Chain A
Amino acid sequence: MPLSRDVYAELEQVVGPRHISDKPWILAGVRAAQPSSPMKPPSPEAVLLPGSAAEIQQIVRICNRHGIRYIATISSLIGFAYPSGPGTIILQLKRMNQLVEVNAQDRYAVIEPGVRHGQLRTELMKHGLTYPVAAVGPGGSVLANFACSSGDNHCQHGASRTNRYLLGLEWVTPEGELVRVGSLANDAGWFCADGPGPSLRGIIKGFVGQWSGMGVVTRIAIGLDAWRGPPELPTQGRSPSYRMRLDPACHKTFVFKFPTLEQARDAMIAIGEAEIAQAVLKYFNASAALLATESANEFWELWDSGLFQRELARPLYVFLSAWTHEELEYEECVLRDIIAEFGGADVDERIQRIYSDNMDFYILVGALQRVLRLGGGWAPCKLSGDSIGHMFEVGKAIPEFITPFIEQGRILDAPDNWQIIPLEYGHSAHIELLFLYDRNQPDWGKVPMDFMRASMQADIRNGHHGTMPLRTVAASQAIGALFSNAHMWANRVKDAFDPQRVSNPF
């Protein structure tokens, strides 16, 4: 439903003429198809740039009054950050970009939606603090990552998903009430997400976020960990060949290979039990090759050599990060014991050198966008979590459904391009399979859905918790009953809070 001029004027009254537009060229900036999809998202009716929670409340109330759908976004990196249907207005929260507070003593930071990972991470280093930084690049919104989307990150072995680090928050409900969640409820500060009583935090975000399907989160606090590096990390080189080095006396990166997935799994579990290392990964191999090269052609040269396929089919990447050299030495001894016990070996020195030369794990594995370099279709699959053991079961079953896609030439021949990242010292783990497909193929647009369907079917067949069911109505109706009827409960909660179904409904 296009916006009437009256409604536009109402909205304009809230944000001011400079911060609203329905001009087609402004809308063109937020409705392009993702490279992974043949479908253009619905064009919004207008884009608004609210400047405060109070403005958002007013906008949301106008939307409820007139039955207009809205979605709040910031960087719009992922496909879910787009309107779920036509007749939607986009609230881009970029002007709400204050780093409200860094409380070094109580280890939390309070931020608005527009604060980006690049800003916060480096600002916190000055305070000797850090947090689990998602691999979305420096322009990714911290708030969106913590409160609205997924929560996995590459250093969560020694920490956790961002879900655990989300503290007090301010939330504009789908109908426009401002609710203070957690310890903010009683003006007790930002330090706690849960309570008083049953935790409202539970409807803000689950395994993944609500993608703006449950109102708008306008301000959050996040918990912080101590940072083992210097206040400023010197950078050598120029784009794209940056090098960042942490103090080698306390930080060290290893890459090992294993004869079987079971051995890699057992080593990963043992590392967690020993409570050593900041990051442990069974990492993607094609993505690793992309990160190690500086152009698509360089990637192809490396990939065609077969080195990464041979050496990194069953790898463990381990990043030790210690406070003292003695601690590093201890951790390395334990690590070497474990690797030897489970039959691991050092990878080819050419690969090891890549990581020794650039020990900043955060940069090396955290620059998600580099993985997109090939420019064609690209999509993540699986994206689930459970024990390390179960995630390896899921991974081991990947050939069941991936092989036909490779044999038919529909995706890049990279069957081992999946990762498992443990968290909380191995208490659970996350799995993700990245598949790349060629947009020059005539049926490229069908590949992602076909692939994900095949993956889900395999999971269901095998009893694997390999994929959280998608929030879309179609997916929920098809398989929701197999997932404890989660879609039904989600819909009931949605109805209770968003009876008009205006907050980016799926």
Chain B
Amino acid sequence: MNQLADFRHTMQSCNHCGQCKWVLGPKTRGYDFAEICPIHMQFHFDAYSGQGLLHIAQELLDGELQYDPGLRDLVYSCTACGACDTNCKSIRDMEVLDTILALRAKLVEDGQGPMPQYARMAEAMARTHNIYGRPHAERAAWAGEPAGLSATTSQPAPVAYFAGCATSYQRPDIARNTVRILEAAGIAHTVLGADEHCCGGPLWRTGQIDAAARQVQENLDALQRRGVQTIVTSCAECFGTLRGFYPRVADFPFEVKHISEIVQEALDAGRLRFSKPLQTTLTWHDPCLLGRLSEPYVPWQGEIKAFGRHVPAKAWRRGQQGVYDAPRRVLGAIAGIEVVEMVRNEENALCCGGGGGVREAFPEQAQVTAAERIREATATGADTLVSSCPFCQDTFEDGLARQPGAMRYRDFTQLVVDAL
């Protein structure tokens, strides 16, 4: 793993151009919905932005800034959504998000972080392997009922469905629907069952790298024992963590696919067909870790020479390879569904507001962002907000509860199952 000091080049390169705060020119569509950083949008001080966090990191490294609970709160107010990173990287060779995550890791390393809520989460995870501290034995309970999911086994298979904590404990319907989809598509698969641990994403993104790495190892062992080659997820957080974090701390010889990609492939191959029309106008929210942050991480060790030349050449993660098309194509293929786009979409999507642990530590802040995203979704004329992230779902449902009648939220898998 890179340390904070490894990102000096990024810190020193920042020109304060503001691209980490604003949607890229080619993607802007008018006065409204042009801001991209959830915290800058809310607090306005430059410190609350990718640029500000880079400069805070630099001053900390240089010993010009001392730790303080207020500083910690600021660092953890960021949703780590990566919008700053993708926007910056459209024009620069800088690692904004990795710097922010390394800053968090440094806070943890120096005993100044994480937020108490995340520390408690890590303690719970050490005991129960999930973020909620719920009994590990209940992790696979979603598979027990209703009847008809008998194919869900823990036997070896080349394809494994990785359900994740939020789905397993809070949103079992998503897990069941995912399995129904896999079955309908004729894909033999395994689940990790009791061998599945938290993916480690919440720990990684709150700077608790060692604890996260332990989860990684547990999961890798389980996957290897089952001879898995492809991991399927229905959770954006797990998806982005598997692709973006695992290769940082371990050999990771697995293909990771999102359920929307599986459905799209099955539709294209004729192995799956929608038979029921669904009358709805929906808009797709690109979860950060399914979209811009889901590109496979390719480790790079090298030197940054004069005038930015990276030796050896570096594979940049600029947000191009996120899962953007598959969910849109799948949903668009369901009769009666009209997919309308928000202004901030794909790699420029606005975070739901709850990412990076913000929903737990700063719930009101998360709701301000969620309200803004719901406003944007409503402006499309859609009646349904669809996504594929149980964390986004939590945040949006909190927000929608405050705006009765605005629209409804549906998980991607639910709509697919409804249309089968």
Q: Are A238 and B346 in contact (CB under 8 A)?
A: yes
Scan residues 251-267 of chain A and give those whose CB is less than 8 A from a CB of chain B. none
Q: Are B49 and A370 in contact (CB under 8 A)?
A: no
Q: Are A26 and B18 in contact (CB under 8 A)?
A: no
Q: A34-B15, A118-B25, A137-B18 are in contact. Are A24 and B65 (CB under 8 A)?
A: yes
Neighbouring A residues of B49 by C-beta, 8 Å: 29
Name the interface size band of chain B.
Answer: 35 or more
Neighbouring A residues of B32 by C-beta, 8 Å: 119
Q: A32-B58, A75-B16, A369-B17 are in contact. Are A26 and B45 (CB under 8 A)?
A: yes
Q: Are B29 and A122 in contact (CB under 8 A)?
A: yes
Q: Are B30 and A436 in contact (CB under 8 A)?
A: no
| A282 interfacial contact with B, CB 8 Å | no
Write out, one digit per residue, whether chain A residues 288-314 have a CB within 8 A of any chain B CB (1) or not (0).
000000111101100000000000000
Q: Are B44 and A296 in contact (CB under 8 A)?
A: no
Question: How far is it, in angstroms, between the C-alpha of A92 and the C-alpha of B51 when the chains are bound?
Answer: 15
Q: Are A367 and B91 in contact (CB under 8 A)?
A: yes
Question: How far is it, in angstroms, between the C-alpha of A373 and the C-alpha of B324 when the chains are bound?
Answer: 27
Write out, one digit per residue, whether chain A residues 357-388 have a CB within 8 A of any chain B CB (1) or not (0).
00010110011111011111000000000000
Q: Are A367 and B25 in contact (CB under 8 A)?
A: yes
Neighbouring B residues of A244 by C-beta, 8 Å: 26
Q: Are A232 and B29 in contact (CB under 8 A)?
A: yes
CB distance from A331 to the nearest CB of B (A): 26
Name the interface size band of chain A.
Answer: 35 or more
Write out, one digit per residue, whether chain A residues 22-49 have a CB within 8 A of any chain B CB (1) or not (0).
0111111111101100000000000101
Write out, one digit per residue, whether chain A residues 152-164 have a CB within 8 A of any chain B CB (1) or not (0).
0000000000000
Neighbouring A residues of B55 by C-beta, 8 Å: 28-29, 31-32
Q: A26-B45, A439-B12 are in contact. Are A115 and B320 (CB under 8 A)?
A: no
Question: Looking across the interface, which residue of chain B has its beta carbon closest to that of A141?
Answer: B18
| B70 interfacial contact with A, CB 8 Å | yes
Question: How far is it, in angstroms, between the C-alpha of A368 and the C-alpha of B346 when the chains are bound?
Answer: 24
Neighbouring B residues of A296 by C-beta, 8 Å: 93, 307-310
Q: Are A35 and B22 in contact (CB under 8 A)?
A: no
| A408 interfacial contact with B, CB 8 Å | no
Scan residues 1-53 of chain B and give those whose CB is less than 8 A from a CB of chain A. 9, 12-19, 21-32, 34, 44-49, 51-52
| B89 interfacial contact with A, CB 8 Å | yes
Neighbouring A residues of B52 by C-beta, 8 Å: 28-29
Q: Are A440 and B306 in contact (CB under 8 A)?
A: yes
| Of B18, B22, B56, B90, the contact of A29 (CB 8 Å cutoff) | B56
| A412 interfacial contact with B, CB 8 Å | yes
Q: Are B307 and A376 in contact (CB under 8 A)?
A: yes
| A483 interfacial contact with B, CB 8 Å | no
Write out, one digit per residue, whether chain B residues 339-383 have a CB within 8 A of any chain A CB (1) or not (0).
000000011100000000000000000000000000000000000
Q: Are B46 and A92 in contact (CB under 8 A)?
A: yes
| A240 interfacial contact with B, CB 8 Å | yes
Write out, one digit per residue, whether chain A residues 83-102 have a CB within 8 A of any chain B CB (1) or not (0).
00000000010110001000
| A416 interfacial contact with B, CB 8 Å | no
Neighbouring B residues of A295 by C-beta, 8 Å: 93, 310, 314, 316
| Of B18, B307, B314, the contact of A77 (CB 8 Å cutoff) | B18
Question: Looking across the interface, which residue of chain A has its beta carbon closest to that of B17?
Answer: A369
Question: How far is it, in angstroms, between the C-alpha of A23 and the C-alpha of B66 when the chains are bound?
Answer: 11
| A446 interfacial contact with B, CB 8 Å | no
Write out, one digit per residue, whether chain B residues 52-93 have a CB within 8 A of any chain A CB (1) or not (0).
101110110000111010110010000000000011011111
Question: How far is it, in angstroms, between the C-alpha of A368 and the C-alpha of B16 when the chains are bound?
Answer: 12
Q: Are B308 and A374 in contact (CB under 8 A)?
A: yes
| B392 interfacial contact with A, CB 8 Å | no
| Of B27, B65, B92, the contact of A235 (CB 8 Å cutoff) | B27
Which of B22, B54, B314 has the most chain A CB atoms closer than 10 A to its own CB?
B22
Q: Are B31 and A119 in contact (CB under 8 A)?
A: yes
Q: Are B26 and A49 in contact (CB under 8 A)?
A: no
| B94 interfacial contact with A, CB 8 Å | yes
Neighbouring A residues of B176 by C-beta, 8 Å: none
| A201 interfacial contact with B, CB 8 Å | no
Q: Are A369 and B19 in contact (CB under 8 A)?
A: yes
Q: A238-B320, A366-B25 are in contact. Are A25 and B92 (CB under 8 A)?
A: no
Question: How far is it, in angstroms, between the C-alpha of A300 and the C-alpha of B93 when the chains are bound?
Answer: 13
| Of A26, A138, A362, the contact of B24 (CB 8 Å cutoff) | A138
| A123 interfacial contact with B, CB 8 Å | yes
| A239 interfacial contact with B, CB 8 Å | yes
| B285 interfacial contact with A, CB 8 Å | no
Q: Are B70 and A25 in contact (CB under 8 A)?
A: yes
Neighbouring A residues of B25 by C-beta, 8 Å: 117-118, 121, 137-138, 362-363, 366-367
Q: Are B91 and A370 in contact (CB under 8 A)?
A: yes
Question: Looking across the interface, which residue of chain A has its beta carbon closest to that of B41?
Answer: A94
Q: Are A239 and B319 in contact (CB under 8 A)?
A: yes
| Of A25, A99, A438, the contact of B71 (CB 8 Å cutoff) | A25
Q: Are A23 and B91 in contact (CB under 8 A)?
A: no
Question: How far is it, in angstroms, between the C-alpha of A375 and the C-alpha of B15 when the chains are bound?
Answer: 9
CB distance from B41 to the nearest CB of A (A): 10
Question: How far is it, in angstroms, between the C-alpha of A95 and the C-alpha of B23 when the chains are bound?
Answer: 18
Q: Are B45 and A92 in contact (CB under 8 A)?
A: yes
| B401 interfacial contact with A, CB 8 Å | no
Neighbouring B residues of A94 by C-beta, 8 Å: 44
Scan residues 270-299 of chain A and give those whose CB is less than 8 A from a CB of chain B. 294-297, 299
Neighbouring B residues of A137 by C-beta, 8 Å: 17-19, 22, 25, 91
Neighbouring B residues of A32 by C-beta, 8 Å: 14, 16, 54-55, 58-59
Neighbouring A residues of B309 by C-beta, 8 Å: 296-297, 300
Q: Are B56 and A126 in contact (CB under 8 A)?
A: no
| A21 interfacial contact with B, CB 8 Å | yes
Neighbouring B residues of A34 by C-beta, 8 Å: 15-16
- 7 smallest beta-carbon distances between A and B, as pairs: A139-B18, A29-B47, A296-B308, A29-B52, A29-B46, A139-B22, A375-B13
19 contacts between A and B (CB under 8 A): A28-B55, A29-B56, A34-B16, A47-B45, A92-B45, A95-B44, A118-B24, A121-B25, A122-B28, A126-B30, A137-B22, A235-B26, A239-B89, A244-B26, A294-B318, A295-B93, A297-B314, A374-B307, A438-B306
A-B contacts besides A76-B46, A139-B21, A240-B90, 14 pairs, CB < 8 Å: A32-B59, A35-B15, A94-B44, A116-B34, A118-B28, A118-B34, A138-B28, A139-B22, A239-B87, A360-B26, A372-B17, A372-B91, A375-B13, A436-B307
